Structure 1
Amino acid sequence: MTVQSAYQEEEKRLNEAVTEINGQLSEIGPRYTGNDFTEQMLDVQREERKQKLEIARKEAYFGRIDFQENGGAAPKPLYIGKAGVGRQHSSDLLVIDWRAPVASLFYSFSGGEAPVRYESPEGEVSGTVHLKRNLMVRGSELHRLVDSYIRGQEEDAVTDEFLLYRLGESKDNKLRDIVSTIQEEQDKIIRADKNVALFIQGVAGSGKTTVALHRLAFLLYRYADRISSERMIIFAPNRMFLDYISGVLPELGVGDIVQTTFADWAVELLDHQVTLQSAAETLEYWFEQERTEEDLRQASGRYKGSAAFKELIDRQLHELEQSILPEQPFEPLDGIVLQPAQIKAWYETDYGEEPLMKRRERLASRLKRWLESELKTRRIVDKKLRAKALAKLNSYTKKIPALSALELYRTLFSGKQSAPEVPKKIAAETAARLKAGFAAVEDLAPLAYLHIRLYGLGKPYFDHIVIDEAQDYSPFQLEALRLCQRQPSLTVLGDLQQGIHAYAGIGSWQELQQLFPEQDTGYFELDRSYRSTMEIIDFANRILSGMDGGVKPAVPVFRSGDSVVTERTDDAQWLSRIADTVREWQEEGIFQSISVIGRTARECDLIHRYLLAGGFEASLVQSRQPAYGGGLTVVPAYLSKGLEFDAALIADGSGQAYRRADAKLLYVACTRALHRLKVLHRGELTHLLD
C-alpha cells in the first residue's frame, strides 16, 4: 500500500469515526435536574459518557495496530485513543481506551515477526502484529501518518519518526500528556501493580512526571471498582509546578484528584494551628549565599527529617502512652470505686488500635457510661450526690492529658522536659519560632506524624499517593505519609542528579525504600531524556561527570539541534548581551517559551527590571508563585526545576556564580532547554563546564 492510499484509507475511516462520535453526542439530552434517584444515577452515567465522547471528538485516536489473535482468520485493525468509544448499534469498539490490556501491544511492540502476547482479564492472549501506525488527528482532520512497522517489509533501523516529530514541537506554559508517544519502559511503570511503593529514578526530561500522572489514570481504569480519584493525592514541589501540570489529567478524562504541596497539606491537617514560615526565606538562605558541607551536615532540615529524630518522637509518644493514665483509682462517691487495672484494660485492649487521643476520648465516654450505670444500679437519684459524682468524673478525666501535636512537639525544644539529644542551636531556634506561632518546612513532617498518631487522619485513607521531586523529601515525610494508607500504594519519583535541596533531601533512594518491606517496593530507572537535543544533554552531562552519585547519566534521543554556545562578557556588557540574545531569539519567531535563568533571586530581579526598561514583555518567577505564564521568563535556577523552555539562556555561568558545590544546580538550569541553550559568563567559565 502506498503512502497516498494509506492516507485515503485513514481519512475515510476518520470521517466515519467522527460522524459516529458526533451522532452519539447529539443523542445525549440535557442534564437531569429532578429528585428521582434512579434518574440521577442515569444522568451521572450519561455525563461520564459525554465527557469521553468530547475527548474523542477533539482527537478520536492516535494509533492503530493490526493484531491477529492465534486461531483468528485475519488481522483486526485496532484504533487506540485517549477514551474508549463503542459503536452505537454494535458490540464492536470504535476506539479502544489506551489503558485497556490489548492497547499495551501498541506501546510494547517494537518490531519483528515473533509472536506477541498481552494479559487480559481472561488470561494470556497471543498472536502476531501486522501493522503499527501512528496517527496525528485533530478534530476531523488527519495531520500526520507514520508507519513504524509493516509485517513482511524490511525494517529501517531508524529512531521513531513520530516521536521525534512530537518532541520537536514547541512548548507553551503547560505540561502536555504523552499518551500517543509512551515508550515501552514508561508503559511498564504506568501498568505496574497498585499495591507497591514504586520508586522511579528519572533523568531530566525522561517524562517521569507525565508517566506518574498517566499511571494515576491507568490505576483508576484498572481498579475502578476498588479505588476512586477522590482518595488519590499528588504532592508537587510548589504551587507553580501544580499549575504547570494541571492540564494533563483533564486531558486524560480524570478529575477530582487532590493536587497540593506537602507544606499546604500538613498545615491543613494541623487545622492551621501554625503558620508556615516563608518558604522564600529558606530558599534564599541556602541559594543566595555560599554554604559549606558542614552547613549541610548541621542543617535543621537534615536533622528533623532523619530516622533518628523520628525515633525520638516515637519515644516521646511511648512515654506519653505509658504515663497518660492516673495511677489512683476513680472513686466518684464513697463505696463506688473503679480500679486503675480495669481502666488500663479498657484503654489498652478495647481501644488499643486507635490513635492516642481518640483512645482518650473513648475512655472518657466509657468512664461516663460506667458512672451512669453505677448510679442507676445503686438507685442514686439525689441531685447533689449525682452532681458530686459528675464533678469527680470531670476532675479525674482532666488528669488524662489532652494534647495537640503542637503542644507535644514543643516539649522537645523548651522547658524542663526538652530532649537532651536535640542540638542546642536547633532547640533554641525552634522553641522561639513555635512560641511565635510559626513552623519551618522541616517542622511539618514531625508535626503531621504526631497529629496522625494522636488523632488519626480524620478522613478516608489515600488509595494512592504520588510524590514528585521526591529526592528533596526527608525519610520523616515518607513516614508521615505512610500513616495515611492501609497498605503501600505510592509512586515516588525524582532525580538524585537534581537533588539541589541537600540541606533537607536524600542522598540515595535506599533512604526511602528501606521504610517499606522489600516485597512491597519496586524500582525503575529512566535514563533516556526526551526533552533536550543531543547537544544540550551531552553538554549538561559534562557538569556531573566525575561525581559519584550512583545514577546513570542521561541518554539523549537521537534528536540533533544547535550547538550549545558559551560566550564571555564583562560586567559592563553583561545585561546588554542578555537583552541582545533574547531579542535575536524572539526575532527568529520559532520559540514560544524563552527563559533567562539567573543564579539568585536578586540577580533575576536586576535582569527583569533591565528587560522591562528595554521594552520586553517578561515575567519574573518568585518563590510560592501560583502560576507560570510562559513567554519570556526570568527565573532563579533553584526555582526552574520541573519547568521546560524552548530556549534557555544561563545569565552567568562563571566560576564565581557556580562553584563545585553548585554542580547539581547548574545541571538543573541547563536541562531546562528543549531546543537551544546558551551560557553567558562574566569572567572565566565555571570549571564545571571545562
Structure 2
Amino acid sequence: MPAHSPATANPLDRERAHLASSRAALRAMREDVQALDIRDVTGNWVNAAILAREIDDRIKALADLADTPLFFGRLDFLHAPGADLAEGSEGERFYIGRRHVHDHDGDPMVIDWRAPVSQSFYRASKKDPLDVGLRRRFGYTGGELTAYEDEHLTDPEEQTGTSALLAAEIERPRVGPMRDIVATIQPEQDEIVRADVHGTVCVQGAPGTGKTAVGLHRVAYLLYAHRERLARTGTLVVGPNRSFLQYIEQVLPALGELDVAQATVEELVAHVPLRGQDSPEAAGLKGDARMAEVLRRAVRSGITMPTEGCVVVRGSRRWRVASYELEEIVRELMNRDIRYGAAQAALPQRIAHAVLVKMEQASEAPDDRVQDAVARSASVKATAKALWPPVDPAKLVLRLLSDPEFLARCAEGLLTPEEQAVVLWPRPGRSVKTAAWTPADAVLVDEARDLVERTPSLGHVVLDEAQDLSPMQYRAVGRRCTTGSATVLGDIAQGTTPWSTDTWATALEHLGKPGSRVEELTTGFRVPGEVIEYASLLLPEIAPDLAPATSIRDTADSLAIRRVAPVTGATGAEDASALDAACALAPATPPALTDAVVEACVAALGHEGSTGLIAADARIPVLAAALEAAGLPFLDPGSETSADARLTLVPASLAKGLEYDYVVLDEPAAIVDGEADLRTGLRRLYVCLTRAVSGLTVLHARPLPEALAL
C-alpha cells in the first residue's frame, strides 16, 4: 500500500498523520460528489430527480463523523495478495475502517471492513495467521487516535492474551443509541455476518453475545457484496417495538447504509385500525398456524359450481358454454391452488377460450382480440362473478370473527367448538372501520390478503427478537422474503409471549425457510460474567435445553443484591423469615423500596455512561413521580441521545434488546407477577437481569424467585 503519511520517529505520530491524511481524502471524495453537474446528463426530469437523490445519498454516506474512528485496525501482510509465497514477495499494509477511502490517484487509504481483504482482521490468529504478520488495533478518545496495540501473529515467542484495546472498546460507556461493533467483531460473529446472501441464517444468542449487532452488520455486508441485487429488491429490519427500532436506527447509517427500511410486525400488517386487545388465550389461538387453513377455506367459501350454462352473443350467432364445461374450468383453477385473485382474473379468459374453441369448430377464425372481447362481455363477466366472487380480505375476516356459523364451517376439524368460541369477537363487528380490531386480527387480514394477491418479496429481511412471534406472525414476515433470504435473531430463553417458540426448527418452518442453518452464540461480550451467571440460574426453569452463557468479562463487584425493609424499622440485615412475615402485612410496594431505588439511581449516575431503571410496568408511574420529586431527569426507552439525560425509565415489557452501562432493577417479584404465568414471568425477569453492561443493582422488598435466592 502506498505511503500517505510522512516518516517520523514516533509510530503513533505516523498513525495520526495517516488518520489526518485519510480524513482529508474523505473530504475530497465528498467535495468531488458535491461538485458534480448533472444539468445536461439526464434526458428528463424524472431521471434527473432520481440521479439527484442518489447523489444526495452518496454525499450523506461520505460524511466524516468527527467522534467516530475512521479506521480502527491495520493489517501488515507477509506477502502481496495472490503472490506465490515461495517468491518472498513483499507484503502490503491495509488500514481497516468503516468505509473505503482513496487518495486523488485512486490508491486505497482505508479499506472497508466488508472487503474480502478485511476478513483477516477478524479471523487471523496465532493458530492460523492467514499470512498476517502484524495486526494493529487503535484506541481512540472521541475521534482522536490515542493508542495502538500490536499482535505479531507469526512470532512464536509472543504470548497471546485478551486485547486491552478490544476490551476497552467493548466496555466503553454507552450513552445514546446502539453503536456499531465493526472494531470488535469476533471470528464466530464474522462468519455469520459474511454468510451467503442466498441462505437464511438463524442465530440463537444468549444475552450480550451481540446477535442484534451481528444481524445489522450482516445487512451492511450484504449491501456491500450484493448492492445491485438488494438495491433492486430491498432490505428490511423487523423489530419487536418502535422503541427498539429507535435504539438501533443509527447503526446502519454510521456504516454508510441509508436505505434499509425498519418496521415492527404490527406496522407490516397495518391494514385495519387497531382498537381492541385480545386475551392471551384468544391471541394465542388467532396466532396458531391452524388459522392459515381456516382462512384459506374462508377465502374459497364463496366459490360455487354452475347450475346453468353461459350464453355469449356475437353478431347473429349465440355460443353456449354448458354448465359441466364451466364446472371443469372452475375445478381446474381450484386444483391449481393459485392465488384467489389470479384465478378470479383468469376465469373470464378461460370461459372466453371455451367460446373460441366452439367458434373454430364452426369454421370461424377468431383471434386474441375476439377472446378479449368475449371475456369482457356482460354475460361472461356476470357468470365469472357468480362462480368466483371477489373477496375483500378485511371484510372476510370481519365476517369470520363475527359469524359463528361461518367460522364453524371454515374451522370444522381444525378448531374445537370451545376454541371457536374464544376466537369469536365478544361483539360482532359492524364494519371494517368501526370494528374492534386487535393486533392478532390484523395478522389474519394480512394472511387473507396474501391468499387473494401475492405479497411482494424483498431481497433480505432481518427479524430480531424472533422468539416472541406467533406462527401466523412468522408467516407474515416470511411472505416478505419468499424469494429472498432472512437473518433470524433471538433467544429461546427470552421468549415472553404466550405463543413464543420453543424450537427454531418449528419457527423456521412457519417462516417458510425450513432446514435453514442455525448458529448459536454463547460467549458474551457485553454482560459481565457475574451478572450473566446470576441470570442463568433461571435457565433450568425457562429454557432447560439451552447451555448457560459465558462471558469474556470478569468484572469485579458488577452485581449487587439488596433487600429493602418493607416496614419502618426493619433493615436489610434482619432475619429473612422476619422480613417474609413483614412482607405479608406490608404493602406490595413500600415507600422504602421506592426511596432505595432513587438512591441507587443517583449512585449509578455517579459513574460514566448510561443508567437504566427497569421495573414492572405497573410500577412505572410510581417511580416516575419519585424521580421527578428527586429532581432526576429521565427519558423513555428509544429516545436516548448523547445530549440528553443519562437515566432511562424502562418498563419491563420494553426492556428486551436494550442495554445500559448500569441497571437498577426494581422488585423482581413484581416483574414476574406482571405476566400471565410463572414461566413467562421468569423469562421476562431473565431479560431484565441481562441489560447491564457494567453493573447491576437488584432491589427488592418481597422474596426473590426461588431460583435466585442466595
Name the residue aligned to 2:691. Answer: 672
- Measured after TM superposition, the shift of residue 545 of structure 1 is 4.1
Matched, 1:473 2:483: no
Name the residue aligned to 2:216. Answer: 213
Structure-2-length-normalised TM-score: 0.80
- Measured after TM superposition, the shift of residue 326 of structure 1 is 3.4
- Measured after TM superposition, the shift of residue 202 of structure 1 is 0.6
- Measured after TM superposition, the shift of residue 317 of structure 1 is 4.7
- Matched position secondary structure for 1:543: helix
Matched, 1:557 2:561: no
Question: Which of residues 22, 25, 30 in structure 2 aligns to 1:20?
Answer: 25
Name the residue aligned to 2:383. Answer: 396
Name the residue aligned to 2:69. Answer: 59
Checking the alignment, whether the CA contact within 8 Å between 1:32 and 1:43 is kept in structure 2 is: no
CA distance in 2, matches of 1:306, 1:67: 55
Checking the alignment, whether the CA contact within 8 Å between 2:672 and 2:685 is kept in structure 1 is: no
- Measured after TM superposition, the shift of residue 46 of structure 1 is 5.8
Seen in structure 2, the aligned counterparts of structure 1 residues 394 and 309 have a Cα distance that, compared at 3 Å, is closer
Question: Which of residues 202, 212, 222 in structure 1 aligns to 2:205?
Answer: 202
CA distance in 2, matches of 1:208, 1:233: 17
CA distance in 1, matches of 2:660, 2:703: 26
Checking the alignment, whether the CA contact within 8 Å between 2:493 and 2:543 is kept in structure 1 is: no
Checking the alignment, whether the CA contact within 8 Å between 1:52 and 1:83 is kept in structure 2 is: no
Where do 1:648-667 residues align within 5 Å?
648-654=663-669, 660-661=678-679, 662-667=681-686
CA distance in 1, matches of 2:228, 2:111: 20
CA distance in 2, matches of 1:140, 1:167: 17
Structure 2: which 5+ residue stretches go unaligned? 1-7, 80-84, 367-372, 567-589
Moved more, 672-681 or 54-63: 54-63
- Matched position secondary structure for 1:514: helix
CA distance in 2, matches of 1:566, 1:441: 38
Name the residue aligned to 1:143. Answer: 146
Question: Which of residues 82, 95, 114 in structure 1 aligns to 2:110?
Answer: 95
Matched, 1:326 2:336: no
CA distance in 1, matches of 2:610, 2:142: 26
- Measured after TM superposition, the shift of residue 256 of structure 1 is 1.8
Matched, 1:310 2:292: yes
- Matched position secondary structure for 1:260: strand
- Measured after TM superposition, the shift of residue 44 of structure 1 is 6.9
Moved more, 34-43 or 303-312: 34-43
- Measured after TM superposition, the shift of residue 340 of structure 1 is 4.7
Question: Which of residues 396, 401, 405 in structure 2 aligns to 1:416?
Answer: 405
Name the residue aligned to 2:504. Answer: 509
Seen in structure 2, the aligned counterparts of structure 1 residues 316 and 424 have a Cα distance that, compared at 3 Å, is closer
Name the residue aligned to 2:345. Answer: 361
Checking the alignment, whether the CA contact within 8 Å between 2:125 and 2:153 is kept in structure 1 is: no
Name the residue aligned to 1:260. Answer: 263
Checking the alignment, whether the CA contact within 8 Å between 2:612 and 2:664 is kept in structure 1 is: yes
Match of 2:383, as an amino acid?
Answer: Y
CA distance in 2, matches of 1:534, 1:449: 44
Match of 2:148, as an amino acid?
Answer: L
Checking the alignment, whether the CA contact within 8 Å between 2:57 and 2:258 is kept in structure 1 is: no
Moved more, 253-262 or 418-427: 418-427
Match of 1:107, as an amino acid?
Answer: Y
Moved more, 231-240 or 503-512: 503-512
Seen in structure 2, the aligned counterparts of structure 1 residues 332 and 650 have a Cα distance that, compared at 3 Å, is same
CA distance in 1, matches of 2:93, 2:660: 38
Question: Which of residues 153, 171, 181 in structure 1 aligns to 2:174?
Answer: 171
Seen in structure 2, the aligned counterparts of structure 1 residues 412 and 24 have a Cα distance that, compared at 3 Å, is closer
Name the residue aligned to 2:98. Answer: 82
Checking the alignment, whether the CA contact within 8 Å between 1:200 and 1:492 is kept in structure 2 is: yes
Deviation string 1:542-601 (CA, Å, 9 cap, x unpaired) is 232455431222211224142421212212412211122222232x2x2432222112x2
Deviation string 1:496-555 (CA, Å, 9 cap, x unpaired) is 111111x12211112113347888511100111222222211221123245543122221
Deviation string 1:33-84 (CA, Å, 9 cap, x unpaired) is 6363179588677656644543487533111111234345122111111111
- Measured after TM superposition, the shift of residue 132 of structure 1 is 0.6
Checking the alignment, whether the CA contact within 8 Å between 1:135 and 1:144 is kept in structure 2 is: yes
Checking the alignment, whether the CA contact within 8 Å between 2:95 and 2:109 is kept in structure 1 is: yes
Seen in structure 2, the aligned counterparts of structure 1 residues 36 and 257 have a Cα distance that, compared at 3 Å, is same
Deviation string 1:87-120 (CA, Å, 9 cap, x unpaired) is 3224x322211111111111111224x562xxxx
Name the residue aligned to 1:181. Answer: 184
Question: Which of residues 653, 661, 667 in structure 2 aligns to 1:646?
Answer: 661
CA distance in 2, matches of 1:573, 1:138: 41
CA distance in 2, matches of 1:52, 1:391: 57
Structure 1: which 5+ residue stretches go unaligned? 117-127, 287-298, 380-385
Checking the alignment, whether the CA contact within 8 Å between 2:285 and 2:423 is kept in structure 1 is: no
CA distance in 1, matches of 2:141, 2:163: 21
Matched, 1:535 2:533: no
Match of 2:120, as an amino acid?
Answer: L
CA distance in 1, matches of 2:296, 2:153: 62
- Measured after TM superposition, the shift of residue 190 of structure 1 is 0.7
Seen in structure 2, the aligned counterparts of structure 1 residues 142 and 620 have a Cα distance that, compared at 3 Å, is closer
Name the residue aligned to 1:335. Answer: 318
Checking the alignment, whether the CA contact within 8 Å between 1:15 and 1:140 is kept in structure 2 is: no
Seen in structure 2, the aligned counterparts of structure 1 residues 250 and 685 have a Cα distance that, compared at 3 Å, is same
Q: What percentage of residue pairs aligned between the two structures are identical?
A: 25
- Matched position secondary structure for 2:229: coil
Name the residue aligned to 1:583. Answer: 602
CA distance in 2, matches of 1:626, 1:370: 63
Match of 1:416, as an amino acid?
Answer: E
- Measured after TM superposition, the shift of residue 486 of structure 1 is 4.3
- Measured after TM superposition, the shift of residue 176 of structure 1 is 0.7
Checking the alignment, whether the CA contact within 8 Å between 1:329 and 1:338 is kept in structure 2 is: yes
Match of 1:59, as an amino acid?
Answer: P
Name the residue aligned to 1:597. Answer: 614
Checking the alignment, whether the CA contact within 8 Å between 1:565 and 1:679 is kept in structure 2 is: yes
Question: Which of residues 562, 567, 574 in structure 1 aligns to 2:562?
Answer: 567
CA distance in 2, matches of 1:4, 1:611: 54
Match of 1:539, as an amino acid?
Answer: Y
Number of residue pairs the alignment of both structures matches: 636
Checking the alignment, whether the CA contact within 8 Å between 2:309 and 2:322 is kept in structure 1 is: yes
Name the residue aligned to 1:632. Answer: 647
Checking the alignment, whether the CA contact within 8 Å between 2:492 and 2:543 is kept in structure 1 is: no
CA distance in 2, matches of 1:440, 1:646: 36
Match of 2:63, as an amino acid?
Answer: E
- Matched position secondary structure for 2:561: strand
Deviation string 1:202-241 (CA, Å, 9 cap, x unpaired) is 1111111111111111111111232227611111101111
Name the residue aligned to 1:291. Answer: none
- Matched position secondary structure for 2:208: coil
Checking the alignment, whether the CA contact within 8 Å between 1:655 and 1:687 is kept in structure 2 is: no
- Matched position secondary structure for 2:259: coil
- Measured after TM superposition, the shift of residue 606 of structure 1 is 1.0
CA distance in 2, matches of 1:183, 1:223: 23
Structure-1-length-normalised TM-score: 0.83
CA distance in 1, matches of 2:285, 2:74: 53
CA distance in 1, matches of 2:69, 2:381: 67
Checking the alignment, whether the CA contact within 8 Å between 2:407 and 2:420 is kept in structure 1 is: no
Checking the alignment, whether the CA contact within 8 Å between 1:561 and 1:675 is kept in structure 2 is: no
Matched, 1:439 2:437: yes
- Matched position secondary structure for 2:635: strand
Moved more, 300-309 or 357-366: 357-366
- Matched position secondary structure for 1:194: coil
